[in-house]
Structure 1
Amino acid sequence: MPDSLAQFRLPIRVYVEDTDAGGIVFYANYLKYMERARTELMRSLGFDKPALFDDMQFVVSQVSLKYHSPALLDDQISVTAVLSKASRVTFEMTQQVFRGDELLVEGWVKVACINSTSKRPQGMPKPMFNALTENFKQQS
């Protein structure tokens, strides 16, 4: 896996359902935004949700977040995903949430591939692994 990686970015609008009574995004919703970005990243590589559940599942095994500033009702934010490490069974991504150029939240997520029946670790299909790792190499 090379050190320089490309970045995936997903724009999201903050709706009232995302906020608390004060119009501030509820802290757990940032995890939902990051999940959406990872899902859309996989879709952009040609793997829609049904393909992701063909005898396998992706599950989050570790996550860490650092909150810098809150997103507010009706903000236009963007969520990034950058592959930082990958094997056939797990991959790790650094993710950030921005409002314009302002960093609101940053996180790290480790995702494991498991067999959908046994729930045991399983390697993701080779074409999926190749698409994930090859599409994150920095274009020069």
Structure 2
Amino acid sequence: MHRFPVRVYFEDTDLSGVVYHANYLRFLERARSDLLRVIGIDQRGAHARGEGVYAIADMALRFVAPARLDDDLVVETRCLEVGGATVVMAQRILRGIDLLLEARVRAAFLTLGGRPRRQPREWVARYRDLSSAVQSA
């Protein structure tokens, strides 16, 4: 499991002082991108070489409780499934031990023209290592 810290700033909140719902998507994206960087997946390099890019194909969210200004949050990310052209991740946003949000995200690897294509083999292997570790834990 990858853990990514986030602090809530004024710009993240709405008029009521809680995190605006769309900003949770930014927190989740940052955590997923950081996970890929940590495991050695070079998204920028793949794009520059014309190999492809990830796009979110499906996302389900469950909001449990609000985050507020100056909260210290942690986004937990786990790899659940990996296929030839897709990866599914489970994510949670926590404030301490309190669950604020749960997400299930499926990302598809696409050509620069937007057509599905297989992910690089070494990426699939890294994802499988992550999902195996989750299943055995």
Q: Give the TM-score taking structure 1 as reference length.
A: 0.89
Q: Distance in 1 between matches of 2:59 and 2:106?
A: 6
Counterpart CA distance in 2 for 1:19 and 1:49 is 29
Residues of 2 paired with 1:52 and 1:23: CA distance? 39
1:125-140 equivalence runs, <5 A: 125-138=120-133
- Report the counterpart of residue 100 of structure 2 in structure 1: 104
Distance 1:62 1:75, change over 3 A: same
| 2:6 is equivalent to residue 28 of structure 1 | no
**Where do 1:1-140 residues align within 5 Å?**
7-53=1-47, 54-55=49-50, 56-116=52-112, 118-138=113-133
Between stretches 99-108 and 41-50, larger displacement belongs to 41-50
Q: Report how far residue 48 of structure 1 moved.
A: 3.7
Distance 1:78 1:136 in 2: 20
Is the contact between residue 112 and residue 121 of structure 1 (CA under 8 Å) also seen in structure 2? yes
CA gap of 1:50–1:19, structure 2 versus 1, over 3 A, is same
Aligned residues: 133
Extract unaligned runs of 5+ from structure 2: none
Matching residue of 1:4: none
Distance 1:84 1:136, change over 3 A: closer
- Kept in 1, the 8 Å contact 2:67–2:100? The answer is yes
SS at match of 1:28: helix
State the distance in 2 between where 1:85 and 1:131 align.
Answer: 12
Superposition RMSD on alpha carbons, in Å? 1.4
For 2:103 and 2:130, locate their aligned partners in 1 and report how far apart those are by CA, in whole Å.
21
Match of 1:3 in 2: none
Cα contact 1:52–1:58 (8 A) shared by 2: no
TM-score (norm 2): 0.91
Task: Supply the distance in 2 between the matched residues of 1:37 and 1:136 (Cα, whole angstroms).
Answer: 17
Structure 1: gaps of 5 or more residues:
1-6
> What amino acid is the match of 1:78?
V
User: 3-state SS of the aligned residue for 2:21?
Assistant: coil
Residues 63-101 of structure 1 deviation map (CA, whole Å, 9 limit, x = unaligned): 110111000000000001111111020111111000000
